[in-house]
Amino acid sequence: MLESLGRAIVTGQYDDRSFPTEAELTVQHGVSRSVTREAVKMLTAKGLLSARPRQGTIIQPSSSWNLFDTDVLRWLLERQFSVELLQQFNQLRVAIEPEAAALAARFAGPDNLARIQQGLDRMKVAEDGFDDALEADIAFHVAILRASGNPFYAQFRDVVSTALRTSIRFTNRIKGHSASLADHGAVCDAIQRGDADAARATMRALIQDVLDLIEEAAPQLKERSAANG
């Protein structure tokens, strides 16, 4: 019920009608009142709904949604593709990942460094078709967030994973090939050397290349999105 209602709200299925009452939801979904209340409570916690006495349950504007909630992010991506959303994801990445890489260069222990190297090794293997290129790329970036030693950066792993999963799929269609191993290798080498400045600069350059590619391809992507309706 949570999945069905959350997706319906975020993808705009209630844009031209009011949200059902608790009694209506109970009948529509064939569940008990307690299940309905729990689903509404969870959607309220995600910022999608507000329930107030005498006002009923109201859908909140998108500015109130918890965009760091993995369910909300996933539902958001089920809406019609948006070049702006793709840019915003990577603008967030460029604000987070370079500093995480710099911290990893300073504080990562042997286990963390090994996981970063493993992520890069998976990307190399994926080039030959023996691993999933997308999952390998995500593993590399998540390993760096965790290696930062900062729990706040590590908490961004789901958001960064979602951003990567989205941007890689679309930028690969434009470039016709997977992420640059050389660029990722430069980040890995800087972290392994303990060079925080180089780690920051190489990670920033890596993500900036993605932003530049999206900006260059924006007209093409918008036309494709419009054509797909």
User: How confident is the model over 146-175, as pLDDT tens digits?
Assistant: 999 999 999 999 888 888 888 777 766 666
Predicted pLDDT of residue 168: 76
Q: Which distant-in-sequence residues (6+ apart) come within 8 Å of 104 by Cβ?
A: 112, 116, 144, 147, 148, 149, 191, 199
CATH of the domain at 187: 1.20.120.530
Number of domains in the chain: 2
Predicted pLDDT of residue 199: 98
Together in a domain, 161 and 110? yes
Per-residue pLDDT of 3-17, as tens digits, reads 999 999 999 999 888
Q: Which domain holds residue 171?
A: 80-227
Min mean pLDDT across 60-69, 75-84, 103-112 is at 75-84
Residue 101 domain flag: yes
Per-residue pLDDT of 15-29, as tens digits, reads 888 899 889 999 999
Residue 75 domain flag: no
146, 112 contact by CB (below 8 A): yes
CA separation for the pair 192, 198 (Å, rounded): 11
Together in a domain, 102 and 44? no
Together in a domain, 115 and 204? yes
70, 42 contact by CB (below 8 A): no
User: Residue range 80-107: average pLDDT?
Assistant: 89
Together in a domain, 40 and 89? no
Predicted pLDDT of residue 175: 63
Q: Name the band, by pLDDT with cuts 50, 70 and 90, for residue 53.
A: confident
Predicted pLDDT of residue 42: 96
Together in a domain, 139 and 94? yes
Predicted pLDDT of residue 167: 78
In the block, residue with structure tokens 């539902």? 75
CA separation for the pair 103, 41 (Å, rounded): 38
Together in a domain, 40 and 90? no
Together in a domain, 96 and 173? yes
Together in a domain, 107 and 152? yes
Together in a domain, 217 and 155? yes
Q: What does the mean pLDDT of the chain come to?
A: 88
Residue 69 domain flag: no
Higher-scoring residue by pLDDT: 167, 182: 182
Kindly state the percentage of the chain with pLDDT values over 70.
90
In the block, residue with structure tokens 């504080």? 107
Q: Name the band, by pLDDT with cuts 50, 70 and 90, for residue 87.
A: confident
